[in-house]
């Protein structure tokens, strides 16, 4: 009896350890779940994103990302202003116009060019997840944690970045069975890299939008970490 008990205990222990994943192993499974045919490196598609936020007008953005040609284009309309950002390897351009009178051009400034680059990085990163976590300058923690968030248990992957990439610490929450990404969260850090727990946001992901056989979250709802304050929603509407 003692021998049988020991054998069963050994088998259970081995099985438990065999199910533990490293950070890189979890990332590979998550990428397989979201981009099963490795189409992200050649991504060349357009999506329409509608953003709503409390006390702010709705913004509709048409985004085109062409990774092979290294081009990005965003046409956004908010109130009566249409802004067109275009970024490629040789040029950054911004055009603003009155939506009701497109021939009436509005002034742009240096900060608009900086915003164009920000928008390119923002949309390419968030809609390229989790594949973008393999980019250079990204550091994936070896240990995968199990955490409960909003009543559900997840496998949680931590990512930090080289200083020139970003100083925030990010956490990605994956369903432990399907490896679908359902939440991500980020925090600011101090100069020593310590997480500042009353900073940053968490984003709840729901529904799925399939484009070029890549599975992206259709709806993202943003909240502040500090007080659980609802910040806004963006949704793929086309």
Question: Do 235 and 185 share a domain, yes or no?
Answer: yes
Question: Do 84 and 195 share a domain, yes or no?
Answer: no
Spatial separation of the C-alpha atoms in residues 53 and 223, rounded to whole Å: 11
Question: Do 80 and 142 share a domain, yes or no?
Answer: no
Question: Do 62 and 120 share a domain, yes or no?
Answer: yes
Residue 34 included in any domain: yes
Question: Do 95 and 169 share a domain, yes or no?
Answer: no
Specify the pLDDT at position 3: 41
Domain's final residue, options 127, 144, 176: 127
Specify the pLDDT at position 118: 94
How much is the pTM? Answer: 0.86
Render pLDDT for 154-193 as a digit per residue (tens, 0 to 9): 999 999 998 888 889 999 999 999 999 999 999 998 888 8
Residue 10 included in any domain: no
Provide mean pLDDT across the span 115-142: 95
Residue 154 included in any domain: yes
Spatial separation of the C-alpha atoms in residues 161 and 190, rounded to whole Å: 14
Domains of the chain: total = 2
Residue 103 included in any domain: yes
Spatial separation of the C-alpha atoms in residues 184 and 201, rounded to whole Å: 9
Question: Do 142 and 236 share a domain, yes or no?
Answer: yes
Structure tokens at 138: 């990204």
Specify the pLDDT at position 78: 83
Provide mean pLDDT across the span 112-141: 94
Domain's final residue, options 100, 127, 154: 127
Residue with tokens 């290294």: 70
Residue 5 included in any domain: no
**Mean pLDDT of all residues belonging to the chain:** 88
Q: What's the maximum distance between 2 C-alpha atoms anywhere in the chain?
A: 87
Question: Do 112 and 156 share a domain, yes or no?
Answer: no
Render pLDDT for 6-43 as a digit per residue (tens, 0 to 9): 434 444 433 333 368 999 999 999 999 999 999 999 99
Question: Do 30 and 86 share a domain, yes or no?
Answer: no
> The domain containing residue 33 runs over which residues?
23-39+133-238
Domain's final residue, options 127, 147, 171: 127
Residue 16 included in any domain: no
Question: Do 122 and 237 share a domain, yes or no?
Answer: no
Residue 91 included in any domain: yes
Residue 6 included in any domain: no
Contact 200, 225 (CB under 8 A): yes
Question: Do 113 and 182 share a domain, yes or no?
Answer: no
Question: Do 137 and 215 share a domain, yes or no?
Answer: yes
Specify the pLDDT at position 110: 85
Question: Do 34 and 50 share a domain, yes or no?
Answer: no
């Amino acid at each position: 009896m003692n021998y049988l008990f020991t054998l069963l205990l050994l088998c259970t222990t081995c099985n438990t350890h065999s199910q533990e994943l490293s950070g890189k192993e979890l990332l590979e499974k998550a990428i397989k779940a979201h981009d099963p045919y490795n189409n992200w490196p050649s991504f060349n598609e357009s999506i329409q994103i509608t953003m709503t936020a409390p006390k702010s007008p709705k913004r509709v953005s048409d985004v085109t990302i062409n990774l092979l040609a290294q081009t990005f284009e965003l046409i956004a309309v908010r109130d009566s202003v249409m802004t067109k950002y275009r970024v490629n390897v040789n040029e950054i351009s911004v055009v603003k116009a009155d939506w009701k009178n497109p021939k009436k051009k509005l002034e742009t400034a240096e900060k608009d060019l900086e915003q164009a680059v920000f928008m390119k990085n923002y949309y390419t990163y968030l809609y390229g997840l989790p594949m973008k976590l393999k980019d250079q300058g990204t550091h994936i923690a070896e240990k995968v944690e199990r955490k409960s968030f909003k009543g559900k248990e997840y496998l949680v992957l931590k990512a930090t970045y080289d200083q020139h990439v970003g100083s925030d610490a990010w956490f990605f929450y994956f369903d432990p069975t399907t490896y679908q990404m359902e939440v991500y969260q980020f925090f600011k850090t101090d100069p020593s890299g310590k997480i500042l727990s009353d900073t940053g946001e968490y984003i709840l992901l729901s529904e799925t939008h399939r484009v070029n056989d890549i599975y992206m979250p259709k709806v993202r709802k943003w909240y502040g970490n500090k007080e659980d304050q609802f910040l806004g929603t963006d949704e793929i509407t086309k």
